[in-house]
Structure 1
Amino acid sequence: MKILHTSDWHVGKVLKGQSRTEEHIAVLAQVVEIARAERPDLVIVAGDMYDSAAPTPEATRLVTRALSALRGTGAQVVAIGGNHDNGAALDALRPWADAAGVSLRGTVRESAADHVLEGETAGGERWRLVALPFLSQRYAVRAAEMYELTAAEASQTYADHIGRLLGVLCQGFGPGAVNLVTAHLTVVGATMGGGEREAHSVMGYAVPATVFPGSAHYVALGHLHRAQQVAGPAPVRYCGSPLAIDFGEGENVPSVAVVEVTAESTAKVRDVPITAAVPLRTVRGTLAELSMMDGDQPGWLRVYVREAPRAGLREEVQALLPKALEVRIDPDMLPQTAATARAERAGRSPRDLFADYLESRGHADESVQELFDTLYEEVSA
């Protein structure tokens, strides 16, 4: 069978005030075109379809149309909730999804069977898929209790709960079918993409690849935005995001994964690049150096300007490079102090405290102090 694995669309993303709706329309159209060309039997969307738990109507319309279009290629479609998604809201869409032929799983339900999906390709290959949406630490404990596993003590780790849940859900894996898992989580040893929500990516949220059974033919993961294979008892892969979500992802190659596998063979994976999004680039230089750059080159810019901080510097940079969404002082231009003594607040005016802050940052521009004074007077009035 052939599988198209995609995730982390983050529809509704606004980057430094810049809407990316048109980019998402183009990117998802390209994903659908790839599905039409590749003719997969199954499309897996491994979470974070939205960037926000409260998506706009426009974002909801774009996601539902994309899922419908993927189903329209003839493939079975399975989508799960990620940490950015509102799982309960996705579950509320299940009547629509069922009618559209899309299997949508937003949260873990009381019935384990609700997360085990089965099907058969046009060529007669049987497949079985365990779909595990994102679980916070609190709900991982509740989910473990729902399935009446061994006592779920609060002291047990997140990885313990995920491992036990997958153990129950994957009990039916056996010969004669392609056994698949999709989940939205962080695996130990994987590389961050640069734009993930760190609170749900590090420390207690990382699980070892050993939580996945060796009987799985392919594990389709979402959450980390860089496409990569992870060593484990089964083929474990992140397909990455189909577009760079934030400037930390400028070096990633946006793609979807196409997987070919049978019940008797090892999964063969190839990445298909997605080129429709505007690239995100980081540039550095003085104003003179920046003025020599071609401001018409494609891509949104993060600029590290090698100038002393001063009022109006951002506007000067954006006049040279209109696509500069983020302007920062190059860290090399800031004072390298190990620790700045904290100003004593008692009896000191906000103006004096702000002046101390400016001095600690190497910012000697009196006009900035004057702007602060004006703002403070307005607020005080």
Structure 2
Amino acid sequence: MNYKDFLSDDLFVYWRIHPSKELNTFWESFIRENGEHGKAFNEAIEIFEQIRNEQDLLLTADASLLQALKSRIKKEKKRKLRIVFISAAAVLLLTFISTLFMLYEKPEDTLQQLSIIGEVKDNSNIQLFTGNDVLEIDNNSTLSLSEKKHSAVIQHPLAKKEIDLNDSQVNTLVVPYGKRSTLILADGTKVHLNSGTKMKFPTSFSGKRREIRIEGEIFIDVAKNKTPFVIQTPQSQITVYGTSFNVSSYSEDARESVVLVNGSVEVKSENSTLRLNPSEIAEIENGAILRKKVDVSDYIGWTNGYMQFNKSPLNEVLKKIGRYYNVEFQYARDLDMNNQTCSGKLFLSENLDDVLEAFSKMTYLQYDKQGDTTISIRK
């Protein structure tokens, strides 16, 4: 990459005009991970600022590129937008491109034809059930178990505390919709729990195998150990052989999925058993297992602050957004959300309005917020 690549990139230009904490963090991370582009990156910043300040250029750039930038800057200065839709073609990150479709004009449907995506749950705190005790845990906290002390440390950016756990009890961590948490088990296994997830686990592992139970969605990096690691879900049993992978098993979904990033896992359902290879997904439904190759980023992006889609039906996109932010969506059935698709990456801002604006720009659909938990989608 050279400086022209950055100057031609929408995300870079938007960042220079509308800087934000999220974008600053993104570009710092990009340069940290791609140090070979640092010189071009800094040259692009220098040229951009010279254009914005109407200074004489110290570096020679393409005349048409400079003129286009001048026009873009002049136009953007008149706008007071929040960052809602990120496009980074040159960087190939944080893209959200529609596979676009046409919405045919039809008369408005009545409320009898209304469809609903998602279900709003009580937006309580994360809870840890251990023995007869129930502890509330802040959002995005990390719970680290200590095998020797039979205790756990709850780490949050603003606080840290240690709690005692009963070694003879099975603990349950409940993460409601709109919340997320991280759990480090006694053997060093790291588990990211997505919204709407319940996980049962022991304070320390003993016996011939390490076993946990989950309902919801997790991304797990299993610590290597001679003792087998087993995950029980409502539809399957997953035996791990030193690996990292994603499991999605929500009770309201008919289909469960296991996506392998690296290592090896065996997936066993009521009727089938198969061994997954990296970059493969096992989809379990009604006891049958279907295997196929996938881009793992489509399934684990939520652990890094974005969702990635690949020709995903819009009803599935809205379902994931609904779980993440604990909201439900309503729309007229003639919008036919299950037959409209999109591809790309959606930045998960802390502000839901940012995400809704992104969805609106991508699909040409409008939205209306009906209170804090219900969103109506319309043409």
- TM (normalized to structure 1)? 0.24
